[in-house]
Chains A and B, each alone.
Chain A
Amino acid sequence: QQQVKQSPQSLIVQKGGISIINCAYENTAFDYFPWYQQFPGKGPALLIAIRPDVSEKKEGRFTISFNKSAKQFSLHIMDSQPGDSATYFCAASKKSGYSTLTFGKGTMLLVSP
């Protein structure tokens, strides 16, 4: 059972455009939703994260939109740059005695010059 579903699998955006990646979750106990960026041969790097008490969080060109009732959240990359070309993973974690991340399958983003 895949608890976090991510789409699209791949995405091509022109430089300066907006990249949008969507995720949906099933477990209502999840209460922490980070996005990770991964370059080839590297480990995932935490990009931005949100908790369900807010509907939007913005950091620079990166924005998370969160819809608790729909159990969906999305990453928007404004003014996309070729350096943003990477694989992006959404993840979710739940409040419990320990925290572990459940990841989506990833979106490969290519920003064309």
Chain B
Amino acid sequence: ETGVTQSPTHLIKTRGQQVTLRCSSQSGHNTVSWYQQALGQGPQFIFQYYREEENGRGNFPPRFSGLQFPNYSSELNVNALELDDSALYLCASSLASLAGGPGSEQFFGPGTRLTVL
């Protein structure tokens, strides 16, 4: 069983550019959530994907967008990068039941450290 993997590990971009981050979910998991973790803070929920559709979004602007693929891997895209977008971006995978129900365990990848200059 493989865990959650993310790429790249580190990334440096300049303000106004666009970035794509990638995540492979843990084997058997069908749901991917993305979080932003600023330095010294707890992770903040960006959005979640289930069955290739956005299944919920936190308080992030539309320039943050994502995709989930049939193999449950996912991408996070950020357009028009701003300095405040500098953070560790975390992907977490989980197994959601069709009926919903209590929060399921989420397993995090190592993250992508994004620096915007």
Proximity string of chain B (82-117) to chain A, C-beta cutoff 8 Å, 1 when within and 0 when not: 000000001010101000111111111111000000
Proximity string of chain B (2-17) to chain A, C-beta cutoff 8 Å, 1 when within and 0 when not: 0010100000000000
- Known contacts A98-B48, A98-B55: does B102 contact A105 (CB below 8 Å)? no
B111 pairs with A31, CB closer than 8 A:
no
B55 pairs with A101, CB closer than 8 A:
no
A99 pairs with B94, CB closer than 8 A:
yes
Q: How many angstroms from the CA of A36 to the CA of B111 in the assembled complex?
A: 15
Please tell me which stretch of A13-21, A40-48, A59-67, A70-78 contacts chain B, meaning at least 4 of its Cβ atoms lie within 8 angstroms of it. A40-48
Find A103's partner among B40, B43, B100, B110 (CB 8 Å cutoff): B43
Closest to B43 in A: A103
A44 pairs with B100, CB closer than 8 A:
no
Number of A-B contacts (CB under 8 A): 79
Taking the closest CB of chain A, its distance from the CB of B7, in whole angstroms, is 13
How big is the A interface, by class?
A: 20 to 34
B105 pairs with A102, CB closer than 8 A:
no
Closest to A104 in B: B42
Closest to A36 in B: B108
Q: How many angstroms from the CA of A49 to the CA of B102 in the assembled complex?
A: 12
B50 interface contact, C-beta 8 A:
yes
Closest to B57 in A: A100
Find A46's partner among B43, B55, B107 (CB 8 Å cutoff): B107
Query: Which residues of B does A touch, CB under 8 Å?
Result: 4, 6, 31, 33, 35, 40-45, 48, 50, 55-56, 58, 90, 92, 94, 96, 100-111
